[in-house]
Amino acid sequence: SINRREAVSLRLLMLIKELIHSVSIPEGVSVDSSSSNVKVSGPRGELSRNFEHTLIKFEQDENVLKIIGNNLRKKEKALIGTWNAHLKNMIQGVDKGFLYEMKIIFAHFPMKVAVKGNIVAIDNFLGEKASRSSAIVGDVKVNVKGDAVTIEGNNIEEVGQTAGNLERATVVKGRDTRVFQDGIYMISKGAAQ
């Protein structure tokens, strides 16, 4: 059996001494990482998010933001990767934005889809008398034209959640989904510009 001092030194050996992720900042986008509430602003607007951890800090040069962590465990290593992904999405959001395209598919009953305020109303789904509705999350624009639905916004989480709400609102229950393939389905994801 190993004593306490050996156990502590083994634990220190398992720590990652230093880990650095670099996020490049394109022209026209500014990042304020002076506090734990990081603000990213660009031609399409501004996004902010709270990044707070005692072992992880930000360093900023001209057009590179570095996420630096010292003496990290596995959990903090994963967290740096997550923060890196969040920051890249925020930068793309204020620079180019996100555009998701969905398609309305119906076989027998023509579905009517319309945007009403901050919800999307779905009428005559599989011939149902009751209307179904789907919430639009945050500052997202939804357009319905023919059988195409476009969802556009700066925050990838809000755009994705709005698309997910639409898909979930048209789930077929109690019927064979190989026959009843009606619904609103995702066909493409990408930058708005």
CA atoms within a 13 Å half-sphere pointing along the CA-CB vector of 88: 12
Q: What is the mean pLDDT of residues 137-145?
A: 95
- Tokens of residue 122, six digits: 């779905």
Which tens digits make up the pLDDT trace of 49-76? 999 999 899 999 888 999 999 888 889 8
Q: What is the DSSP string of 140-153?
A: -EEEEETTEEEEEE
Mean pLDDT of the chain: 91
* Total count of residues recorded for the chain: 193
Q: Which two tokens stand for residue 5?
A: 């001092």
In 13-140, where do the E strands start and end?
16-24, 30-32, 37-42, 45-50, 56-60, 64-72, 98-105, 112-116, 119-123, 132-135
Cα 105 → chain centroid: 25
When pLDDT is averaged across residues 70-91 and rounded to a whole number, the result is: 92
Contact (Cβ atoms closer than 8 angstroms) between residue 38 and residue 49: yes
Which of left, alpha, beta for 127 (phi over 0: left; psi -120 to 50: alpha)? left
Task: Give 3-52 pLDDT, tens digit per residue.
Answer: 777 776 666 667 888 889 999 999 999 999 888 899 999 999 999 999 99
Is the CB of residue 33 less than 8 Å from the CB of residue 65? Answer: yes
The whole-model pTM stands at: 0.86
Contact 71, 11 (CB under 8 A): no
Distance CA 103, CA 40 (A): 32
Structure tokens at 176: 């064979």
Nearest to 121 by CA among 159, 165, 158: 165
Q: Which pLDDT score is estimated for 127?
A: 92
Can you tell me the mean pLDDT for 76-105?
Answer: 95
**pLDDT, position 2:** 63
Q: What whole-number distance in Å separates Cα of residue 111 and Cα of residue 104?
A: 8
Which of 48, 54, 47 minimizes the C-alpha distance to 79? 54
Residue at token pair 């398992």 = 14
pLDDT at 46: 94
